[in-house]
Structure 1
Amino acid sequence: MHWTPDRTAPSVGRVVITKTRSPIRSSVGLKVVMAVTGILLVLFLIAHMLGNLKIFTGAEAFNHYAHWLRDLGTPLLAPGWYLWIQRTVLLVAVLAHIGAATVLALRARAARPVQYAHRKKVQGSYAARTMRWGGVIILLFVIYHILDLTTGTLNPVGDATRPHSNVVADFAPERWYVTLFYTLAVVSLGFHLRHGTFSALRSLGQQTPAGERRARTFALVFAVVLTAGYLVVPFAVLTGLVR
């Protein structure tokens, strides 16, 4: 906030108050927040997917990996603290990502209050048109996932010392509805990642026709690989490949 003289005053200059928007609250600043938090969340998704795939190495190896995560950072950190620090950072990143996206969407709508009489068909992808409800599904799934495999509240086993048993019980054939919800959330995440990755690459300068094709291809491949990496675990349990 700063003071500026009112040069239209006839004699004694009046002063008026003008508000200077904080850089982080500007549209550019909010896009930076979305980019940084998006990168952080993508890195976590990659690491989490690779960790999940360790279930194919056997129950003992998977349990060892899960216990290693709980003890990560010791003796500097108390057992389990690393995971809670990670969860806190991810929660802040998710809230900041959603908040920035919401503000940008509201500003874009306010900038065009009158709808066009004849609106051209949007050339954006299916993912771009479903980002909002996809984000809601992902958020609901994250809440369920925490209550299921983190706190064990909704898990049939719910034993923190037996992570492999928790996963197998979670996606058992009789709990097909859990696998269905998991699939819906992961597919929504895939659409979200495809659109977000493509938008980020375009922002980095891939705006020529050839560059856009490369960016679109990379975004699609990345989203498909990550989606498949997450879905292979529940379907392996559902079909009996992992027991």
Structure 2
Amino acid sequence: MTTTTPRPATQAEQGTTAPRALPRWYRSTVFLKTVMAVTGVMLLLFLTAHMIGNLEVFRGEESFDGYAHWLREIGEPILGHSWFLWILRVVLLAAVLLHIGTATALARRARRARPVRYAHRPPVQGTYAARTMRWGGVIIALFVVYHILDLTAGVLNPVGAPGRPYTNVTADFQLWYVTAVYTVAVLVLGLHLRHGVWSATRTLGRHRPGLERVTSVAATAYAVVMTVGFLSVPFAVAVGWVE
């Protein structure tokens, strides 16, 4: 009597039921990468504006507090007081959730496509960048929660004075451990931004052999500028340039 060993189901056959229940465009890896790139660009625009706004602290308390109050008045009288900020927060939250969701989906697809690890895998830049993006994303997400509780809600701020952002910022960075946490988070953000800008540029159609070097340099330059810009405030407070 001859026994026949069942043929293992292919990856497509194993995932026939759940994936095919989704629209074809959603199941597309290209679509997920595009969503990740677009939401990443949205977050980059916010971070750039946020960093520039932070530099108002160097113009003094009146200027920095005035800038913070102006943000709450954008759109008036069509929008109510602080409505613009709440709309922005909702949009950013949606962008963050989509960014994390698509990143997770793509990572799972990559693992399913290669269920067995390579016995001898050559070290490549892409592997290091992927690992950095994963743990970096977790650190950034945790820091954002802390940052909101600190300077937005004022719960973790040493002063937590409502309507006095300059006082809250300077009180924060007079504490060495707050400056240290902020520094680590910003350095991780810089690494994340560098790879994110480079990857988004390729995904959105600028992957050309002649522009590869230019894209890499531009991504690195942007990440450095953002890192220095964000770190300039806590270090200026720590050394007494801003009081």
Residue aligning to 1:19 = 20
- Corresponding pairs, count: 224
Q: Tell me the SS of whatever aligns to 2:237.
A: helix
Residue aligning to 1:55 = 57
Which segment is superposed worse, 118-127 or 77-86? 118-127
In 2, Cα distance between the equivalents of 1:177 and 1:126? Answer: 29
Residue aligning to 1:205 = 206
| Alignment check: 8 A CA contact 2:64 2:165 kept | yes
User: What displacement does 1:26 show?
Assistant: 2.1
Residue aligning to 1:161 = 163
Question: After superposition, what is the alpha-carbon deviation per residue over 1:148-202, rounded to whole angstroms, capped at 9, x for unaligned?
Answer: 1001111112122111101000111xx1111111111111111011001111223
In 2, Cα distance between the equivalents of 1:238 and 1:90? Answer: 30
Residue aligning to 1:182 = 182
Unaligned runs of 5+ in 1: 1-16
Does the alignment pair 1:226 with 2:226?
A: yes
| Alignment check: 8 A CA contact 2:55 2:229 kept | yes
Residue aligning to 1:98 = 100
| Alignment check: 8 A CA contact 1:49 1:226 kept | yes
Alignment of 1:1-243 (within 5 A): 19=20, 21-22=22-23, 23-124=25-126, 126-172=128-174, 175-203=175-203, 204-208=205-209, 210-243=210-243
CA, structure 1 residues 25+89, in 2 after alignment: closer, same or farther (shift >3 Å)?
farther
Residue aligning to 1:11 = none
Q: Tell me the SS of whatever aligns to 1:130.
A: helix
Task: Give percent identity, aligned residues only.
Answer: 61
In 1, Cα distance between the equivalents of 2:85 and 2:172? Answer: 21
User: What displacement does 1:126 show?
Assistant: 4.4
Unaligned runs of 5+ in 2: 1-16
CA-based RMSD: 1.6
| Alignment check: 8 A CA contact 1:55 1:61 kept | yes
In 2, Cα distance between the equivalents of 1:185 and 1:29? Answer: 30
| Alignment check: 8 A CA contact 1:127 1:194 kept | no
Amino acid at match of 1:186: V
Task: Give me the TM-score of the superposition, normalised by structure 2.
Answer: 0.88
CA, structure 1 residues 77+176, in 2 after alignment: closer, same or farther (shift >3 Å)?
same
Residue aligning to 1:5 = none
**Bigger relative contact order, structure 1 or 2 (CA pairs below 8 A, ≥6 apart):** 2
User: What displacement does 1:19 show?
Assistant: 2.7
Amino acid at match of 2:133: M
